[in-house]
Amino acid sequence: MELNEAKDKFIQSWGNFGTNWGINKTMAQIHALFLISDELLSTEDVMDALQISRGNTNMNIRTLVDWGLLYKESKKGERKEFFRGEKDMWLVGKRVIKVRQRQELEPVLQILSEVQNIKETKSNKEETKKFKAQMKSIEDLSLSANSFLTKASNADENWFWKILMKLIK
Amino acid sequence: MELNEAKDKFIQSWGNFGTNWGINKTMAQIHALFLISDELLSTEDVMDALQISRGNTNMNIRTLVDWGLLYKESKKGERKEFFRGEKDMWLVGKRVIKVRQRQELEPVLQILSEVQNIKETKSNKEETKKFKAQMKSIEDLSLSANSFLTKASNADENWFWKILMKLIK
DNA sequence: TTAAACTTTCAATAATTATTGAAAGTTTAT
DNA sequence: ATAAACTTTCAATAATTATTGAAAGTTTAA
């Protein structure tokens, strides 16, 4: 395989991978492009490399910066904005976990808690008890997952993997 | 809140939650309905409860059975098929992890490995080295995540959480 | 067999989500 | 203040994904 062929394959695959996990294809592709680019890239560079529109590029670069996966940087003598990708995959992982935990797991925890405040009537006493118990069990697992992810996304790599390795042996 | 209002809220939220993670809304809603139903339900019961078409219901029930989140069961004297939901959230979690790991993580591992077989030319020696190194680092993290998920999805609950609790303390 | 009861399929359609690109907005240099 | 260089927005459009429902397929009972 050629280098450029390999790069393209990686970008396309990363895009599809994102798609399966609720991250839009362009955003994942831009991220992939930055993972394999050592130089700073401008919005136009990204537009050219991936053949996508200015609006699309701008929007997704913004989101990647918000997620902490890209950094805005300046080039001396250039007025244009440039960006650099975070290359450390452990850090990338931690940041993705943080954002998605906040955006998606926490709202569910909120609902699971709310939904347990039901007024019980004489006619549905048993049913209510069972429903609450089931919500509680989902809440418990979600809370444990949430704690784990919080810990994981704040942990320093060595310490974390050292203990994790005992687990996965 | 009323019991039925709470049930509906849970079903809708679970549907949206699924949507954010690349699982279609109907499938997640059907799953939610089974999580809070003690009785066996038929395709028609699900159609009625969620107001969705026969085809949609059939297709998503099939997938849920494939994933191991629903079981097909018979009711004596009834010719119709009935289904029962797996209620144990730990088991549900393990099964979801297994399916998605196979469907989405493993293809990425495949690509990451493929993409490292590049023929180096004199003109791009350095660039090729860097690209390979970056692919390797992504592959390493992905392999670790993969091992962890495999372990987690085969673990028995008590043993697993006991060690995990030390981590998340 | 036959036909009723039930399940599955799939082409058509609807709903959702992503993308474009031109116009509006902003910043900087002079 | 002006205008060139650059960034952002957003209504229109395209692409993707989900859903419908009728027709085809299958199973069962008599």
Q: Which of residues 19-48 of B touch strand C (CB under 7 A)?
A: 19, 42-44
So what's the pLDDT on residue B46? 98
- Per-residue pLDDT at A169: 63
What is the percentage of chain A residues whose pLDDT exceeds 70? 99
User: What's residue B169's pLDDT?
Assistant: 64
User: What integer is the mean pLDDT of B133-152?
Assistant: 94
State how beta strands B82-85 and B41-42 pair: antiparallel
Model confidence pLDDT, tens digit, residues A50-69: 999 999 999 999 999 999 99
> Two tokens at A127?
């049913």
Q: Give the C-alpha separation, A44 to B86, whole Å.
A: 51
Q: Given CA atoms A153, A140, B23, A116 in this order, what sign does their dihedral have?
A: negative
pLDDT of B76: 87
Q: What is the pLDDT of residue A160?
A: 83
In this prediction, residues A17-22 reach a mean pLDDT of: 94
Q: Among residues of chain B, what percentage have pLDDT more than 70?
A: 99
Whole-number Cα distances in Å, A28 to A57, A165, B91: 11, 29, 31
pLDDT band at B157 (very low <50, low <70, confident <90, very high): confident
CB contact, 8 Å: B154 with chain A?
no
- Across B119-137, average pLDDT: 94
Is A110 at the interface with chain B, CB within 8 A? no
Cβ of A47 less than 7 A from strand C: no
Class for domain B3-85, per CATH? mainly alpha
pLDDT digit string, tens, across residues A134-143: 999 999 999 9
Residue range B39-63, pLDDT digits in tens: 999 999 999 999 999 999 999 999 9
Q: Among residues 55-94 of chain A, which lie with CB inside 8 Å of chain B? A: 87, 89-90, 93
pLDDT of A115 above 90: yes
Chain A: closest CA distance from residue B163 (Å): 7
Q: What is the pLDDT of residue B45?
A: 97
Contact A17, B106 (CB under 8 A): no
pLDDT value, residue A77: 87
For the cut 80, the answer to whether the pLDDT of residue B7 exceeds it is yes
pLDDT for B103 equals 93
H/E run at residue B158: helix B157-168
Q: Mean pLDDT score of chain B, rounded to an integer?
A: 94
Q: Calculate mean pLDDT across residues B108-133.
A: 94
pLDDT digit string, tens, across residues A4-14 = 999 999 999 99
SS3 state at A128: helix
Tell me which residue in A22, A87, A124 faces B3 most closely, judged by beta carbons: A124
A75-89 pLDDT, tens per residue? 988 989 999 999 999
A149-to-A72, A80, A134, A139, B9 alpha-carbon distances in Å:
27, 37, 23, 15, 26
In this model, does residue B167 exceed pLDDT 80?
no
Contact residues for B22 (Cβ-Cβ < 8 A; gap 6+):
A19, A20, A21, A22
DSSP B145: H
Q: Please determine, for residue A168, whether its predicted confidence score (pLDDT) is greater than 70.
A: no
CA distance B118 to B131: 10
Average pLDDT over residues B73-91: 94
Phi and psi at residue A155, in whole multiples of 5°? Answer: -70, 155
- Asked if the model's pLDDT at residue B105 lies above 80, the reply is yes
Rounded Cα gap, residues A70 and A40, in angstroms: 10
Mean pLDDT over A12-30 rounds to 96
Q: Would you place residue B90 in the very low, low, confident or very high pLDDT band (cuts 50, 70, 90)?
A: very high
